[in-house]
Chain A
Amino acid sequence: MSRQIGEVILDLKNVSLAFGGVKALTDISFDVREHEIRAIIGPNGAGKSSMLNVINGVYRPQQGEIILRGQHFSKMNPFKAAKAGISRTFQNIALFKGMNVIDNLMTGRNLKIRSNLIQQAFWWGPARREELAHRAKVEQVIDFLEIQHIRKTPVGRLPYGLQKRVDLGRALAMEPSILLLDEPMAGMNVEEKQDMCRFILDVNDQFGTTIVLIEHDMAVVMDISDRVVVLDYGRKIGDGDPDEVRASPEVISAYLGASH
């Protein structure tokens, strides 16, 4: 294990997000260090997915700011986030159902494509060369995730567990520096969860990708993450390494509903 946790790469300061009268996030601050696996946990409706959506600009917080590698973003948008090297997977798989696995992964290479529409229409020099080069990259991701046998299957026909894996593959094809995973193991059986854990750890270890993940399976979270943030009703109630968080009375009461 050569992985070394570095400096703070992503810093969220006093983020508040409301939908009308509903406060999804209230004054939340936490940071993510380079190369670490950072988990966000909390009961249903705690604001975990909203948190990810704020990080990659799908939601605009009313207050607070996002500092990415020292750069301040008060208004992030998905395109900027993607350019800055943030990619993500979705809780309810958001693959492109009409396309096959290769094409889905190729969309992840979109930001790296330089040829223009005309060159592509004529399948002309640069466009053709790029297509081949990116295909080779995508095949590496396919090998990594062990999905060679389904590379030409339309993703709509794949079983749920494999779709989750393709979703991860599309995010990896972007070669992100920060990877946001929204419940990567929801609805999976034990073997699928083990595979997914292995992939997450391998990504982190081999590519040094910083990972922010949301997960409900406490055993998994406590096992693979370096630090954990706990949210409840849009507020942060715990932050620290897994043991600290597990011992915190506030976290226990949020999860077990103990009386105060």
Chain B
Amino acid sequence: MLYRENGQFKTSYAADQQIFPIAQDRWAIVGILVFAFIGVPLLVDEYLFRAILIPFLILSLAALGVNILVGFCGQITLGAGAFMAVGAYAAYNFHIRVDGIPLLVSFLLGGLTSAAVGIFFGIPSLRVRGLYLAVATLAAQFFTDWVFLRVPWFTDNASSGSVSVSNLQVLAWQIDAPVDKYLFCLAFLVVFALLAKNMTRSAIGRQWMAIRDMDVAAEVIGIRPLFAKLSAFAVSSFFVGTAGALWGFIHLASWEPAAFSVDRSFQLLFMVIIGGLGSIMGSFFGAAFIVILPIALNQFLPALGGLFGVTISTAGISHAELIIFGALIIFFLIKEPHGIARLWSTGKEKLRLWPFPH
């Protein structure tokens, strides 16, 4: 009843093209942002920040990048972990080698380096597609694994490939308490999500989606596949690379190449598939599902067992966690192959008409 757009008339195309055309959505998003920036820091303890919220924010950003490439442009990639690694190590090198470089600048330069590497590994997409492209991007993964382990220059001659950073600050803001890290990542994510939304609703986004849906027709109406595909690789790798820099600097503080292994690539791909391909919102849902659900299950299962008077061993919990997690993924993919974002939008559509069926 409350979620209605009755009486909200659009009198200009500008009003019709805004990101949230329905007033209730605008209020909801303002509410969520206020809560995230002000409410959460007051309410949440350190463990939640470290274990859930910070990883969730950073992986959402990475998933956003992967979604631009896979969901919007239709180019499957298994190299997301590699681009995170490139972003992290590039930002690290700028951070230690350029004196007095601001932290933000080194993050963005890390992202840009990752974009350049992304364009390079995106070149095969001009010739191959689908699973073959996935295999080609997998090459990026093994290549970066090797480079950061074996070329000491990139890790400032650390023999194990492990590097660490400390004493991070932006202007006068010291980022070491979990709440500061959380706010820093949140600000990044909000800005990048806005940029992603703007791109996907303007000409470049339509080019990507046109290439995804029907590449021959796209070319016929004057879209150059070369530009559309490589720009998707660049933007996607920029997002993923920046997320990598955040993951290394803010979340881990000291890391080695294994932090960005092929597992990470798969994890990010699963996030966008489960969350919803071709949906900004879906990237957040996917990241939440994959980051939060295992931890939630871990906490919730012993309590549930206790309710029935059953004590579950620690090993039993971790097994059950995997089983339930896997089952849920299969369930979602069967019930809604377009991901949680589609469930969400179907729900909203139903709500607009409720209590009438149509």
Q: Is the CB of B214 within 8 A of A127?
A: no
Contacts of B199 in A (CB 8 A): 117, 120-121
Give A54-95 as 1s and 0s: 1 = Cβ < 8 Å from B's Cβ atoms: 001010000000000000000000110111000110100011
Chain B residue nearest to A174 (CB atoms) is B221
Shortest distance from the beta carbon of B89 to any chain A beta carbon, whole Å: 25
Tell me how many residue pairs across A and B have CB atoms closer than 8 Å.
Answer: 103
Neighbouring A residues of B224 by C-beta, 8 Å: 79
A96 and B222 in contact (CB under 8 A), knowing A117-B235, A132-B13, A132-B14?
Answer: no
Give the chain B neighbours of A3 by CB distance below 8 A: none
Residue numbers of B with Cβ under 8 A of A are 13-14, 16-17, 195, 198-199, 202-207, 209-210, 212-214, 216-224, 231, 235, 278
Do B231 and A110 touch (CB < 8 A)? Answer: no
Interface residues of A (CB under 8 A from B): 56, 58, 78-79, 81-83, 87-88, 90, 94-99, 103, 106-111, 113, 115, 117, 120-123, 127-128, 130-132, 135-136, 139, 170-171, 174
Contacts A120-B199, A123-B202, A131-B17 given: A110-B212 contact, CB under 8 Å?
A: no
Give the distance in Å from the alpha carbon of A122 to the alpha carbon of B216 in the complex. 29
Contact B213 A98 (CB under 8 A): yes
Neighbouring B residues of A106 by C-beta, 8 Å: 203, 206
Q: Are A79 and B213 in contact (CB under 8 A)?
A: no
Is the CB–CB distance between B210 and A107 below 8 Å? yes
Chain A residues near B216 (CB-CB < 8 A): 58, 78, 94
Instruction: Rank and list the top 3 A-B pairs by shortest CB-CB distance, nearest first.
Output: A82-B222, A94-B217, A96-B213
With most chain A CB atoms within 10 A of its CB, the pick from B16, B213, B223, B235 is: B213
Bound state CA distance, A148 and B198, in angstroms? 25
Question: Interface SS of chain B: helix, strand, loop or mixed?
Answer: helix
- The answer to whether B210 and A96 touch across the interface, beta carbons within 8 angstroms, is yes
Contacts A58-B220, A99-B206 known; list 18 others, CB within 8 Å.
A78-B220, A82-B220, A95-B214, A96-B213, A99-B210, A103-B206, A107-B221, A110-B206, A110-B207, A110-B210, A111-B221, A111-B222, A117-B199, A117-B204, A120-B199, A123-B198, A123-B202, A130-B203
Q: A110-B207, A121-B195 are in contact. Are A131 and B202 (CB under 8 A)?
A: yes
What residues of B have a CB within 8 angstroms of the CB of A107 in the complex? Answer: 206-207, 210, 218, 221, 223
Distance, CA A220 to CA B342, complexed state (A): 43
B209 cross-chain contacts in A, Cβ below 8 A: 96, 98-99, 103
| Contact indicator B198/A122 (Cβ below 8 Å) | yes
Taken together as a complex, chains A and B put the C-alpha atoms of A109 and B16 apart, in Å, by 19
Q: Least Cβ distance of A46 to chain B in Å? A: 22
Q: Is the CB of B222 within 8 A of A132?
A: no
Q: Is the CB of B204 within 8 A of A120?
A: yes
**Complex: how many Å from CA A127 to CA B203?**
9
Which residues of A lie under 8 Å from residue B16 when comparing CB positions? 135
Distance A110 CA – B224 CA, assembled complex (angstroms): 10
Q: What residues on B are CB-neighbors of A135 within 8 Å?
A: 13, 16-17
Whether A117 touches B212, Cβ cut-off 8 Å, given contacts A82-B221, A96-B217, A98-B278, is no
Q: Which residues of A contact B223 (CB under 8 A)?
A: 107, 110
Distance to closest chain B CB from A140 (angstroms) = 12
A110 cross-chain contacts in B, Cβ below 8 A: 203, 206-207, 210, 221-223
* Closest chain A CB from B269 CB (angstroms): 19
Q: How near does chain A come to B186, taking the closest CB pair, in angstroms?
A: 20
Contacts of A128 in B (CB 8 A): 14
